[in-house]
Chains A and B, each alone.
Chain A
Amino acid sequence: MTMHGEEKKENRIFFILLGMFAVVCVLRYYDHFIVSVNTTVFAFSYELGFISRGLPGTALRVLNSLLPYDFMSYDGIGLVSKAVTFLFFVILFWFYAVCLKKCTERMYKEARYLILFLSIFTFPMFLSAENFGRLDVYLLSIVILSCILVLYEKWEWLIVPLSVVAMLIHPGYVFMDINLLLVLLLYKVLSVPREKRKKYIVLLAVTFLVVSVLFLYFEFFSHPQDTEIYEEIVATAKSLSDNGQNYHDHLINHDILGQNVFWDEWDWHIVNFIEFPIFLILFSPYIYLIGRFYWNLIKKEQERTRRFAYIFIVMGAGTLLPEMVLKTDYGRYMFALIFYYIACVLILLALGDEGATMRVKELTGFLRNNMTLSIFLIMYAFLFVPFRDFHISDVLEEFYDMIIIYLPYRAL
């Protein structure tokens, strides 16, 4: 695992370049704007009871009372969002560094390409108006941090409180992010020696139990359903918005009044129905490559328990299915999907998994033989970023605009 001077130097140059790339992405994609869904959420707080997504608003109020700055404002949310996004970049780079440091020397080149590919999607994701300051950035930071702890095998007990914090920030953690951590813990359970196994079983069980309980509570028992509280939240949300008027009614209706907003979001579902199949077609080169990798990973594995772990990794993204059926932000879900599958490969390489190492080598061999694919693999991805919210990306929105005019249904 020791790094030779040459590789160490290459990795250092790689990180400098990646840092430059991140800076240029910030300059290029940062929209200087927070949409109402990301300001409204700060109107929620535990002053109104133990409600869903109450932690960010409560933390903002604490900051407001402690520091001589008006955090309970649009600018205050902007400042916090900037700080959190910066922190996210730091954690992401830390994760990359850990993965690169832990993987075997012969996999450095492949790992670097994977990191670059993942970064093309990840760097711009939380900079656009739609996603800047979105609670996803908090959740992703937490899950990445948890994975780093597991990879380091230090302070792993911290993943339980971290998961609790994530659930208090947004119960959607159960669907969009925790899968990465759970499959990692499961992989550990199935691959570590017997004496260490117990620790990971306990961690897996406790984490799963805690998030499940919190999720059930927030989903079924945390809605105050009080019109006075509703009015108060609307007033606060308006005061936090960019123009003093905007607020996100679906969010309040769902989280405070406990209403089912499925039909309210029907127009956006239509967007999803049109864009998603096109996305699958346009993204098929990547789907093919990722599918090919995981298919071979499972198929060629001789050891039964490890194969079982790989199957769980592939199925792990299934946690996104309820979101995809009931909710509308396919841009976020597609990003979560891409992040999950690429991060899993990186983690497997960092864990020195022999099967993953061989399959990645096979895949790079395949790409080397398909020159065209290898040239466009990175370039092509640029056309899709940044991923938005209910529109997956600008390319897909263009297709949607072209198609919707021929449909009898008039959506957004």
Chain B
Amino acid sequence: MRGFGLEIEKNDKEFLTVLAFFAVLCMSRFYDHALYSHPAPFSILQSYYVVVLATAVYYAALFVFYIVCVGKTLRFNKKLMYYLVALCSVFTFPMFLQANYFGSMDVYAWFFTLMGICLIVLEHGEWLVVLYGLLSACICPMFVFGGGCLLLVFLFYQRCIKEEKKYGCMLLAFILAEAVGFLVSYVRGSFSMDVQMTVSLRNFVLMMVLMSPYLLMSIIYFQNLLRGAKKRMKMAYTVIFAGGIPSAAMYALRGDFARAFFYVFAYYVVTLLVLMAMRDEGAESGLMVLKNKILQWVPIPAIVVVYPFLFMTLWISGAHELIVETVLGQ
């Protein structure tokens, strides 16, 4: 671990062990034991055991990502990092266990994205990100707007803070790779969007209203982030902020509101984790301000992490239990 500059302490190990146990229980709680058909470039990717394996690999990639984030974070920010990891897990653990999303190509693309982010954070073998971009675009073309954006914005961020030419080249190569991946999937005929109508528009709007405090928090956070930043950094932060919009907008427009909901939150929480892992001073101070505001406003701050759990399981329990059916009748 030390070779990568990771500092994993006893507390970190304890936290990650408990998180692993929590993940196992999440699998037991949310796994639907059902595999629906999803557009896939190769039929083998839709075989049940391959999907189970892919989901396990996705979980492993998540844990590698968490280890990198926790290991890279400064010691006095660790507690905050734990809470962020917990919040991220609230979204990422149950999502691809539910019948509608279990076996979707997103898990493969997320694997490549998380690995790519780890390489960017560790500053080791970053050129592999280009290959990951190509592979994820080939397997799940629409992911270009989701995880692809994540990799793209962090390459751009590195270009802004490091001012090294290689990041500029990487950025261009990555865009090219994504375009090639897009084209390959188009030529191969696997260019179809995996849309799951699990949540209705009314549900989505209601969920967004109930989740609006988080919108307020993200606005406060990015306001603080931009406030003291230099011009170049302001540009980097603005790109990071804007990066979450394409995936959410695309899925919302196509009617896959559950995915839109997931992508918008997963994107911004992963962004926070990465910025903290990269020891970005603006991000750290912005998060401190936000934390103080939460402590000031919310008498039980733990609820900020726990509350989204109710929503992540919302569509998982089946259409008859959805929020709108309760409010507006069947």
**B-binding residues in A (CB < 8 A):** 10-11, 13-14, 17, 21, 24-32, 109, 112-113, 116, 282, 371-380, 382-383, 394-395, 398-399
- Interfacial chain A residues near B15, Cβ < 8 Å: 371-372, 375
A21 CA to B14 CA, complexed, in Å: 30
- Interfacial chain A residues near B18, Cβ < 8 Å: 372-373, 376
Q: B313 to A376, Cβ gap below 8 A?
A: no
Q: Smallest distance from the beta carbon of B234 to chain A beta carbons, Å?
A: 33
Question: B22 interface residue, CB < 8 Å from A?
Answer: yes
Given A371-B11, A398-B28, verify A28-B302 contact (CB < 8 Å).
no
Q: B321 to A28, Cβ gap below 8 A?
A: yes
Subset of 10 A-B contacts with CB under 8 Å? A17-B299, A25-B310, A29-B321, A31-B321, A32-B326, A113-B302, A374-B302, A376-B86, A380-B25, A383-B26
Q: A378 to B299, Cβ gap below 8 A?
A: no
Question: B314 interface residue, CB < 8 Å from A?
Answer: yes
Question: B309 interface residue, CB < 8 Å from A?
Answer: yes
Q: B306 to A378, Cβ gap below 8 A?
A: yes
Given A10-B299, A282-B25, A379-B306, verify A28-B90 contact (CB < 8 Å).
no
Q: Smallest distance from the beta carbon of B307 to chain A beta carbons, Å?
A: 8
Question: 7 tightest A-B contacts by CB?
Answer: A14-B299, A398-B28, A372-B15, A10-B299, A27-B323, A395-B29, A378-B302
Given A28-B310, A380-B22, verify A375-B83 contact (CB < 8 Å).
yes
**A-binding residues in B (CB < 8 A):** 11, 14-15, 18-19, 22, 25-26, 28-29, 31, 79, 82-83, 86, 90, 210, 297-300, 302-303, 305-307, 309-310, 313-314, 317, 320-321, 323, 325-327, 330
- Interfacial chain A residues near B314, Cβ < 8 Å: 28
Q: B22 to A379, Cβ gap below 8 A?
A: yes
Q: Smallest distance from the beta carbon of B79 to chain A beta carbons, Å?
A: 6
- Interfacial chain B residues near A373, Cβ < 8 Å: 18
| CB closest residue in chain A, given B18 | A372
Q: Smallest distance from the beta carbon of B16 to chain A beta carbons, Å?
A: 9
- Interfacial chain B residues near A377, Cβ < 8 Å: 302
Q: A383 to B25, Cβ gap below 8 A?
A: yes
- Interfacial chain A residues near B326, Cβ < 8 Å: 26-27, 30, 32
Q: B86 to A27, Cβ gap below 8 A?
A: no
15 new A-B contacts at CB < 8 Å, known A13-B297, A28-B321: A21-B307, A32-B326, A113-B300, A371-B11, A371-B82, A372-B11, A372-B14, A374-B302, A375-B15, A375-B86, A376-B19, A376-B86, A378-B302, A378-B305, A378-B306
